[in-house]
Amino acid sequence: MQFNTYTYAGAHIAVWLVNNPSPEPEVLAAMLDSYDVHQPVTTSAEVRALRPWVLRLRGIFDASTVAEKAERADELLVAANCRPRLVSHGPGLPVHFHYAPVRTGLAARVKALTAAGLAHVIDDGAGPRLRACRRAGCGTVFLDTSRNGRRHYCSVRCANQVNVTNHRLRQRQVHGAPAT
Q: In this structure, what CATH number is given to the domain that contains residue 124?
A: 1.10.3300.10
Q: What is the mean pLDDT of the chain?
A: 90
104 located within any domain:
yes
Rounded distance, CA 108 to CA 38, Å?
13
Question: How many domains does one find in the chain?
Answer: 1
Neighbour count for residue 7 (Cβ, 10 Å): 19
pLDDT of residue 42: 80
158 located within any domain:
no
For 40-50, the pLDDT digits (tens) are: 778 899 899 99
- 23-37, 85-99, 137-151: range with lowest mean pLDDT: 85-99
Residue 110 contacts residue 39 (beta carbons within 8 Å): no
For 79-98, the pLDDT digits (tens) are: 999 999 888 888 998 888 88
Q: SS3 of 141, please?
A: strand
166 located within any domain:
no
Instruction: Say what the pTM is.
Output: 0.87
Q: Is the pLDDT of residue 180 over 90?
A: no
Q: Which domain holds residue 67?
A: 9-133+140-149
